Each structure stands twice: as structure tokens, then as C-alpha cells.
């Protein structure tokens, strides 16, 4: 006991005048913070993760939570986090795990980009009264099209168009696997994307049979562990995604602990009950772009060239060259996941320190593909910490075709970004497999929430486009003229290739 315990992070207060001893807090807190002692609810602050479940469920608004101020000696370098990480590792000798996205205070580039609007000379367009087109096709596009003239003014298409995903809004939901999140969470999102005409990813956890009715809106994922992958799985997906890397943990694989591998998860993933599901960092059949191309083509071959194949990589410093290689591997889309991407569980050191912001990655990839004259032949999907419709609009203006959201969709279902997903006790029923917690999600209600979120963002995107005098998403894509840098340094402005405010 050299080190002893560290100070508690959150303080929970119960207003005894308001509390009616209904014990809902006890019931709702899966971390076991509350207990009843006689006529009183007594909290054990130390266990609290600030997930807000108790607060949201208290019928009397009797619970308050506050972050406890730092009571270490203040120091600019040896922050509370730095010190506590050391205590933690001095005790455990292990890698420190964390959930959700990057928690470091890096400047957010999106917040230093502002959008533009029309005034006078160029009328803005009112999406309520004028058509506004957000339909987006994801997949390979021909460089040019060839036609036969049947007779004057009447043509026949000669070019064969490769299969594409047709999106009614450029917002999709990224891959979160069954195992990392609950089936109810997946089901709710599946219902939502089906309703709004967009897509979601299965993650690397296979496709549970309850999701079959929504398979036309699902993108199946293949990670290095190949969990749940067979021809039935491939054929069910609307598209196939090969996951090479993930923004929250570039360069490392995944690990789902055996205790989360309950019966249904084991069946869906096709692995033994309670065995650890480890997807290694590399795919052991991919060590070069040629190898990747082989996998892309064999997946296409297996599904009779009827499905687009995406390749997902984490945004890292040479992302542009890698993406160009991917584009040449016959892949139909490249997914770039920035360093703010969320995760169920990642070593903290990776989550907070590896990778680059997605804004810079989109710009660099879009530039590179243009330089090679192939930009329009492959789609770019951007993800990693998109928080609102402004982020989506900016990502598209920088060069993305569409985006994946992750954390935002979870927040729409209640997630409070407590960052404790890796513990499997998510009180909102999202990042857990415990049936009593999973059942907290009513899939219809949660689906409605996710649908509302995507619809809300889509309406705002349409308004932002209208303000810029643009009525089709094609004209926003890569339109960096519509962005201006505000308090960004020259180096970043150069990478983003945007002008300064006032210019």
C-alpha cells in the first residue's frame, strides 16, 4: 500500500428533501454506486463514472453530480490525469484501457473553419421552397461515359456502371460491432437507417439474424479476425468493408474479452462461448497493396461483382498515399477514420496520441486522388468525431462524399460519453451485453431518436447548402471555396487548401 487510493473524481449529492426513496437510482446504476441505509440513499462516489443514468431516471430531480476539483498540488505538466495514470500503472503494470474518443485537448480544426453564405449578387436558395438534392452514390464512378446515338437527341448508354450504394442523405452510421454494443442498440440504428434511406455498418461482429430484415441497409465488415464471415454474411450485406485500421487505435487490433462473448455473440461471431475474440493488428494475408487488391477482388468475385467493397483505414500521416493505393486496388470507397473516432475499448495511449485529425486527412486524400486524376472514380467516407451538421458540411466541403457517425448516434440513444464502455456495464444498455441492461433500450423509441437526429442534420445540411447558393450535394463536395480558416496557422491552411477569413 505504498500509493494508497487516488481522490474521487465525481461527487454525487442527493437532496434528501426531494428524495422519495423510490430506489430507482439503485436499480439504474450498474456500477453499484447507491445503496439504501434506513431512510437514506447513500452513494459511494468512488464507483461513479458520470454516466448520468441515475440523474436521468430520478423522478424527483434529487440527484446532482459534480466533477470534483483537482485537489492535488496544481502543476501545469504533472496534471491529475498524468499522475493518476502513473499510480494506476504502478499498481497494475498493465496497459490502461479507455472507452470513447480521444480525450486530449487538441484544437478542433472543424471549429476553426467557417462556412460561407450568399448575399445579394448570388441568391441563397430556400430549401423549403426549392428542390435541394442530397442524394449521394457511394462506389466506383466511370471516368467518362460512352453513349450510342440512336437518333438525333436519343441516346443509349454504353458504359456499364459499377454497383453503388444510393444514400438519401450523406450521413451513415459507422461500424460498431455486436459485442462492443448490444443487439438492441444495433437494431435501433438499423431501423433508423432503413427509414431515412441510408446505411450502417455491422462492425466486425458478424450479422445477427434479428438484423436480417434490415440487411439492405447494412454494410458488413471484415476485420483481421474474420469473425462471423461466411458467404451468407457477405451476400446479405449491401456493401462489404475491409477494416484495416480504426481512428481510435491506429496500428492495433481489437480485443473483445471472453466474458462479453455470451451465447448469442458467440453464435454471431462464430467463435466458442466465452473465448476472447482477438482480431490482430495486421490481416495475415495482407502485407501490401497487391495483397489488399487480391482480397478486394476475391470478395467481389465471391459476391459476383454485385457489391461495392470499401476499405477503412485510420487517418495517419501518410494517409494520402495509402488511400491512393487503395483506390487502385479496385476498392470502391476509402473510409478515413480520424483520431477522434470512438471505440468500445482502446489502450488510452493510442486513443489519445496516435493518428491525425480527419479534417487534414480528408483534404490530403482528396488532393492526392485529384493529382492522380482518379478522385471521382472512388468515394471518400470520413469519420471520427463528427458532432453536428456543421462538421458534416465541412467534411464534405473538404472533399468527403459522405460521413460515418458513431458516438453521435449513441448519444442519440442516451449515451453520456462517460468513457467506461470497455467495462461492459453501460447503464444505457448500449455498450453492454447484460440482458437486464440491454433491455433498457426500447428499439422503436431509440430508432426514432436516431432517425430524428439524422433527419435534423440533413435539414440543417440542406439549409447550409441553400445559404451557399448550392442545390445539389455534388457541388458542395470538395468545394473548399465555401470554407474559410479562422485562427488556423498557415501550415494547416496549406494542408487544407482553404483561404483565410476576409480573403
129, with CB counted inside 10 A (0-12, 13-18, 19+), is exposed
3-class SS shares of the chain: helix, strand, coil, % to 5: 35, 20, 45
Alpha helices in 248-318 (DSSP H): 263-269, 289-302
- Pick the closer one to other proteins by CB: 60 or 370: 370
Please name the helix (run of DSSP H) or strand (run of DSSP E) that holds residue 115, with its range, or none. strand 113-115
Retrieve residue 224's grid coordinates.
483481421
Write down the least CB distance from residue 137 to other proteins, Å: 5
Q: Is 418 known to sit in a ligand binding site?
A: no
Q: How many residues does the chain have?
A: 503
Our finding on whether 137 is near other proteins (CB under 8 A) is: yes
Q: How far is residue 64's CA from residue 440's CA, in Å, rounded to a whole number?
A: 22
Indicate the Cα dihedral angle 465, 470, 471, 476, nearest 10°.
-70
Q: Which of residues 314-373 bind other proteins (CB under 8 A)?
A: 366, 370-371, 373
CB of 63 to ligand SF4, least distance (A): 7
The answer to whether 118 is a known ligand-binding residue is: no
Stretch that binds other proteins, among 57-65, 426-434, 453-461, 465-473 (CB under 8 A): 465-473
Identify the H or E element spanning 459. helix 443-467
Q: Yes or no: say if 485 and 499 are a contact pair by the CB < 8 Å rule.
A: yes
Q: Is 141 in the site for other proteins (CB under 8 A)?
A: yes
In the complex, least distance from residue 147 CB atom to other proteins, rounded to whole angstroms? 7
Q: Which is nearer to ligand SF4, 33 or 496 (CB)?
A: 33
Q: How far apart are CA 157 and CA 260, in angstroms?
A: 52
Judged by CB under 8 A, does residue 269 bind other proteins? no
Contact in structure between 423 and 191 (CB atoms under 8 Å): no
Residue 150-189 contact track with other proteins, rule CB under 8 A, x = bound: ---x-xxx-x-x--x-------------------------
Q: Is 147 near other proteins (CB under 8 A)?
A: yes
Write out the residues near ligand SF4 by the rule CB under 6 A: 12, 28-29, 31, 33, 48-54, 65, 99-100, 410, 415-421, 426-428, 430-431
Binding mask 471-490 for other proteins (x = CB under 8 A): xx-xxxxxxxxx--------
Query: Which parts of this chain interact with other proteins (CB under 8 A)?
Result: 118, 121-123, 125, 130-131, 133, 135, 137, 141-147, 149, 153, 155-157, 159, 161, 164, 366, 370-371, 373, 375-376, 397, 468-472, 474-482
Amino acid at each position: 500500500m505504498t500509493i494508497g487510493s487516488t481522490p474521487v473524481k465525481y461527487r454525487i449529492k442527493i437532496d434528501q428533501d426531494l428524495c422519495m426513496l423510490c430506489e430507482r437510482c439503485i436499480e439504474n446504476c450498474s456500477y453499484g454506486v447507491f445503496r439504501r441505509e434506513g431512510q437514506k440513499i447513500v452513494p459511494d462516489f468512488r464507483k461513479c463514472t458520470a454516466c448520468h443514468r441515475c440523474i436521468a431516471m430520478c423522478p424527483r430531480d434529487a440527484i446532482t453530480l459534480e466533477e470534483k476539483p483537482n485537489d492535488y498540488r496544481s502543476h501545469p505538466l504533472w496534471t491529475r490525469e498524468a499522475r493518476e495514470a502513473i499510480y494506476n500503472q504502478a499498481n497494475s503494470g498493465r496497459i490502461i484501457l479507455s472507452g470513447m474518443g480521444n480525450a486530449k485537448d487538441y484544437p478542433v480544426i472543424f471549429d476553426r473553419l467557417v462556412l460561407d453564405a450568399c448575399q445579394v449578387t448570388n441568391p441563397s436558395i430556400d430549401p423549403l421552397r426549392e428542390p435541394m438534392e442530397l442524394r449521394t452514390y457511394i462506389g466506383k464512378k466511370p471516368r467518362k461515359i460512352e453513349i450510342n446515338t440512336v437518333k438525333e437527341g436519343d441516346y443509349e448508354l454504353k458504359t456499364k456502371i459499377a454497383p453503388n450504394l444510393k444514400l438519401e442523405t450523406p450521413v451513415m452510421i459507422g461500424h460498431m460491432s455486436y459485442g462492443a454494443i448490444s443487439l438492441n442498440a444495433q437494431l435501433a440504428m438499423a431501423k433508423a437507417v432503413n427509414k431515412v434511406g441510408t446505411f450502417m455498418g455491422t462492425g466486425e461482429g458478424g450479422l445477427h439474424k434479428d438484423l436480417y430484415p434490415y440487411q439492405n441497409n447494412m454494410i458488413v465488415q471484415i476485420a483481421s479476425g474474420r469473425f462471423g464471415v461466411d458467404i451468407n454474411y457477405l451476400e446479405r450485406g449491401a456493401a462489404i468493408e475491409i477494416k484495416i485500421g480504426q481512428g481510435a487505435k491506429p496500428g492495433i487490433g481489437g480485443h473483445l474479452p471472453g466474458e462479453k462473448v455470451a451465447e448469442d455473440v458467440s453464435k454471431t461471431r462464430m467463435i466458442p462461448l466465452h473465448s476472447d475474440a482477438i482480431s490482430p493488428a495486421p490481416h495475415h494475408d495482407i502485407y501490401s497493396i497487391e495483397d489488399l487488391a487480391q482480397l478486394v477482388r476475391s470478395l467481389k468475385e465471391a459476391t459476383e461483382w454485385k457489391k461495392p467493397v470499401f476499405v477503412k483505414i485510420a487517418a495517419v500521416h501518410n494517409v494520402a498515399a495509402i488511400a491512393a493505393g487503395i483506390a487502385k486496388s479496385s476498392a470502391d470507397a476509402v473510409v478515413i477514420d480520424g483520431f477522434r473516432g470512438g471505440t468500445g475499448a482502446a489502450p488510452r495511449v493510442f486513443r489519445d496520441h496516435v493518428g491525425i485529425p480527419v479534417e487534414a486527412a480528408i483534404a490530403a486524400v482528396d488532393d492526392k486522388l485529384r493529382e492522380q486524376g482518379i478522385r471521382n472514380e472512388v468515394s471518400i467516407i470520413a469519420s471520427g468525431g463528427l458532432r453536428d451538421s456543421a462538421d458534416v458540411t465541412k467534411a464534405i466541403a473538404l472533399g468527403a462524399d459522405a460521413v460515418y457517425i458513431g458516438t453521435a448516434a449513441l448519444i442519440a440513444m442516451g449515451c453520456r460519453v462517460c468513457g467506461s464502455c470497455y467495462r461492459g456495464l453501460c447503464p444505457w444498455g448500449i455498450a453492454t451485453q447484460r440482458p437486464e441492461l440491454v433491455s433498457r433500450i426500447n428499439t422503436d423509441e431509440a430508432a426514432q431518436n436516431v432517425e430524428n437526429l439524422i433527419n435534423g442534420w440533413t435539414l440543417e445540411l440542406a439549409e447550409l447548402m441553400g445559404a451557399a447558393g448550392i442545390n445539389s450535394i455534388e457541388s458542395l463536395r470538395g468545394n473548399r471555396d465555401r470554407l474559410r480558416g479562422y485562427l488556423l496557422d498557415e501550415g494547416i491552411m496549406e494542408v487544407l487548401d482553404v483561404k483565410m477569413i476576409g480573403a
